[in-house]
Every structure is written in C-alpha cells, then in structure tokens.
Amino acid sequence: MSAAPIRSVAILGGGTAGWMTAAALSKALSAQGVAIALIESDAIGTIGVGEATIPTIHWFNQLIGLDEAAFIAETGATWKLGIEFRGWQGEGSAYFHPFGTYGLPGDAQMLPHRLIRAWNGGHALDIEQFSLTTQMARAGVFARSNGDPRSLLSTLGHAYHFDAGLYAAFLRRMAEERGVRRHEGRVTRIEQDGQTGFIQALTTERGERVAADLFIDCSGLGGLLIEGQMHAGFEDWSHWLPCDSAWAAPTAADAAPPLYTTATAAQAGWRWRIPLQHRVGNGYVFSSKFQDAEAARSDLLAAIGTPTADPRLIRFTPGRRRQAWIGNVVAIGLSSGFLEPLESTSIHLIQTGIGKLLSLFPRQDCATLLAEQYNRVFAQEMEDVRDFLVLHYHFTKGRNEPMWQACQAADLPATLAYKVDHFLGSGRLMLRQEDLFRDASWFAVMTGQGLRAQGHNPMLDSMSAADNLRHLDAVRAAIAKSAAQLQGAR
C-alpha cells in the first residue's frame, strides 16, 4: 500500500530560494491542501546579491503566474540580452555571449559550421553580425522573440537583471496570499527521528515549533539541515574554479542601462556590472589564494568609482553537496552548492531544484528512489554549469597574472575535455538533451575564448565554399536589415 500523501511542508530560509520555493509550491500544491510554512531570521538576513538571470527565468515566472509588467516594476528589472566578456583574451578584448540563436530561423546548428568553414578559408567574418540578439544589444534597443519559428525575430532571446531582494519580497506577498505561513526567528533546535533519520520539527529561539512531513533547506551556504543535520558532504571544485570570495557594492543607476551584463577579467578573478533601474550592481569575484581581500576591495573601488553603500565581502567554496535530497530534506539554492555568477546560473539552479521537486514530489515515506533520481539529475546539472564556467577560466589568452596562469595549466574536467576535443576536431558541439547551455552559447563562448575548430560538418560540402560565403552574406544582410527595422520602430 502507498504511504500517505504529504500534508505539510516547512521551508527553512527566506532568501530568493526560500520565497521562490514557497511561491511555486503554494501554486502547485494548492489543490492538495498541503500546509506550507516558511521560517526565516531577519537577524541572520540573506546573502543579498544575485541580480542577473538567463532566459529560463520565463518558465518559472509563468509557473507561478507572475505578470511581466508587474514583475519589472516591482523588482527594478531591466532587459538582459546577454553577457559581454571583457579582457578574457587580454586587455582590450571583448566578446558577446548572446541569448537567442545565430543566423536565420532553423539555422542554429549549421551556422557555426558555415562560419568555421569561412574562417578556415581565410575570411575574417565577425561573429557578432550573425546574431540579431547581439546586434540589438550593441544598438541598445530591446526586442523580443515573436515566437514564430519562420521569423528572424524568433532567434531573439532575453532574460532580466533584477533586484533579488525585491523579487523575494514580491514572491513573499504572492506566497502569503496563497496561504504560506511565515515564522520569524532563528532555528535553534532540530528534532530528528532516531530510527528513520527524518527531520520532525524545527523550533525557533522564540519557542515556535514547526513540524512537517517534508523540509526544504533554503538556509544558504551553510546548509543547516542538509549538511548540519543530514551530513550530505561537499564536492569541492576549487581546483578548477579558484575564486572563493567576492566584494559586492552598488553604484548610482545608469541614465540608459545597457541591455547586458558585463564580466571583466581582472588580476585574480573578474568583475561583474549589472544595470538595474534604480542602481548598478557591481562586484569582484576573486581568489583569496592570489589576492588578499583588501587589495581586491581597492581594485573594485578603483574600477567602479564611488559606491552608494559600503562594499560587502562574501566568502564561498565552489562545488556541490554530494546529495541534495536525503530522507525528508531537500536542499534548494545556496544550501545545495554554489557556482560563481559568471554565467548567472544560481537562480536558474533554484528553478530546476523546484522543478525536479515538483516532478518527483514524494509521499510521506520519501521513497529513496525518488531522492536518488533527484540527486542524479542535480549532479549532472551542476557539472554542466561547472564545465561551462571552467571553459572561460581555462582558455584565456594575454592574461599572465598568476591566477590565470594556474587556470591555463590546470587539467580540464573529463566531460569538458570531451566537448572541447569534438569542437576543435570537427566544429561539433556535443550537447545532451538536458544540457542547459545550447549550441549558440557554447559556440559564442568557445569562439570568444579563442578556440578555433579545424574542421566543419562535411554535410556542408554539398555546397561550394563560394556558395557558403554567399549564404553567409545573405544571412548577415538579413540580420542587419531586421536590426535596422527594429531600431527604426523603437
């Protein structure tokens, strides 16, 4: 006989992860009458950074029924069409990782091969001219996909920059309206069943006791339940991603916020610049092995000018929990692991945590097979993101500072080495169905980081080299025309 259904869920933590989880569960479980409680401590506070997203944010906002106009107004959001990487191939270099695809509709997989063939034939074509999204980002004009697969506009993609604190507050109102009960106070006592190891209840310093069938650990980097109580263990990825610290500081808002995040390589890491409506978020992610915190703080301030609040220092270890679901505890957000925000993936990973939890939602026995599947997919997702980040760190040029030299000399994870070998050999992007970043992203970053494929897909050889160039000219002209029309229609 099946175990009884879950009747109550307790979420520990009211940061972005906690309130995203509360908003999604309260929507998805409303028909089942599951009671949802959230415990957070104002005294502990939240990490308070996390402002750039990737296009997968759309499905989450749709899932919870969020109106885009209200979301933009409430969270100080701006449009984001991609990320500009500055200095990763030496001072003065820059490349763009656009959301959306390259070329014409339906050309996403073949266009990289067309370009590789032209480049190898000695033609210095500019990759940016083959992406409508990049053209709009460079022009500073926002345009969105029209969803029509026959239209060039369908190659556009976008996400947002937003104030994660305001987003959490917005989601909190939504979740509380749907019946989520918030408890304020630091959790000081955790009751655990001696036989099953399941968590039974959390008690705050005020003496409030919250019992539940299922606990979601959104308590931040420390992972109070998943690590402190369930001893999940941590897989440390510092040997590939040496940065373990960040200074964060806001500056005054731009008069005309750019439509992209900037990630600028620096002495012992890189700086982010994220334009919001009401301020600019800045930060310097650095390796404390290669630069001390005071020197890093000075470097950030020298780059951004006068901040509107004191810089804050955050320490972290890159990597993931060995298990994100154990017994009746599921870790979502920073409690499950952390990868630096180079490709703005943390909020995405919160979403996928929620998505996996909903699709594997357990009964009261929390069947171990469900946890096993969750952990399997979780590990894969984290490793995919890790590999994409390591790609940036490993293949820099013209950066001779000790940290960058160490990254250039480090071995690649085998999974990344496999992708790189395929690309260098035949221009192929070996992606699995589940990979988060798709052809356009890998192609943009591999090319931007200086990787040059030696060959192209032989299917293209049914066309002469001259015809390939003519095709590329036509693509470039169509994109330029569309970009001009969109700018004119502004």
Ligand X SMILES: Cc1cc2nc3c(=O)[nH]c(=O)nc-3n(C[C@H](O)[C@H](O)[C@H](O)COP(=O)(O)OP(=O)(O)OC[C@H]3O[C@@H](n4cnc5c(N)ncnc54)[C@H](O)[C@@H]3O)c2cc1C
CA distances to 80, 149, 486 from 482, rounded to whole Å, are 19, 15, 6
Which residues ranging from 300 to 319 are in contact with ligand X (CB under 6 A)? 314, 316
Report helix, strand or coil for 384.
Answer: helix
DSSP string, 140-205: T--------TTSGGGGB--EEE--HHHHHHHHHHHHHHTTPEEEES-EEEEEE-TTT--EEEEEET
Q: Would you count residue 17 as binding ligand X (CB under 6 A)? A: yes
Question: Of 150 and 315, which has the nearer Cβ to ligand X?
Answer: 315
Q: Would you count residue 164 as binding ligand X (CB under 6 A)? A: yes
Let me know if 80 is a catalytic residue.
Answer: yes
Q: Closest separation between CB of residue 167 and ligand X, Å?
A: 9
Question: Of 100 and 341, which has the nearer Cβ to ligand X?
Answer: 341
Rounded Cα distance, 172 and 185, in Å: 16
CA distances to 19, 73, 84, 174, 386 from 170, rounded to whole Å, are 9, 10, 29, 7, 30
Active-site annotation holder among 80, 289, 356, 481: 80
Rounded Cα distance, 93 and 89, in Å: 6
Q: Would you count residue 18 as binding ligand X (CB under 6 A)? A: yes
Question: Of 285 and 486, which has the nearer Cβ to ligand X?
Answer: 285
User: Residue 359 is encoded by which pair of tokens?
Assistant: 């699709």
Q: Would you count residue 51 as binding ligand X (CB under 6 A)? A: yes
Beta carbons within 8 Å of 433's beta carbon, 6+ residues apart: none
Size of the site for ligand X (CB under 6 A): 39
The only residue of 58, 181, 186, 476 in contact with ligand X, by rule CB under 6 A = 186
Q: Closest separation between CB of residue 31 and ligand X, Å?
A: 27
Beta carbons within 8 Å of 142's beta carbon, 6+ residues apart: 79, 81, 136, 158, 259
Q: Closest separation between CB of residue 407 and ligand X, Å?
A: 19
Q: How far apart are the first and last CA of the chain?
A: 62
Q: Closest separation between CB of residue 6 and ligand X, Å?
A: 22
Question: Of 45 and 425, which has the nearer Cβ to ligand X?
Answer: 45
User: Residue 239 is encoded by which pair of tokens?
Assistant: 């040997």
Listed ranges 50-58, 147-155, 317-325, 419-427: which one lies at the site for ligand X (CB under 6 A) = 50-58
Report helix, strand or coil for 324.
Answer: coil
User: Residue 76 is encoded by which pair of tokens?
Assistant: 């100080």
Which residues ranging from 204 to 243 are in contact with ligand X (CB under 6 A)? 218-220, 224
DSSP element (H, E) containing 139: helix 132-139
Largest CA distance in the chain: 77
The only residue of 25, 136, 216, 248 in contact with ligand X, by rule CB under 6 A = 248
The only residue of 22, 24, 52, 77 in contact with ligand X, by rule CB under 6 A = 52
Listed ranges 11-19, 134-142, 459-467, 478-486: which one lies at the site for ligand X (CB under 6 A) = 11-19
Question: Of 283 and 413, which has the nearer Cβ to ligand X?
Answer: 283
Q: Would you count residue 403 as binding ligand X (CB under 6 A)? A: no
Question: Of 123 and 206, which has the nearer Cβ to ligand X?
Answer: 206
The only residue of 15, 103, 250, 307 in contact with ligand X, by rule CB under 6 A = 15
Q: Would you count residue 82 as binding ligand X (CB under 6 A)? A: no
- Of residues 243, 433, 271, the one with CA closest to residue 338: 243
Q: Would you count residue 382 as binding ligand X (CB under 6 A)? A: no
- Other CB atoms within 10 Å distance of the CB of residue 312: 14
Residues in the site for ligand X, rule: CB under 6 A?
Answer: 12-18, 39-41, 44-47, 49-53, 164, 186-187, 218-220, 224, 246, 248, 283, 314, 316, 333-335, 341, 344, 346-347, 350
Which residues participate in catalysis according to the annotation?
80
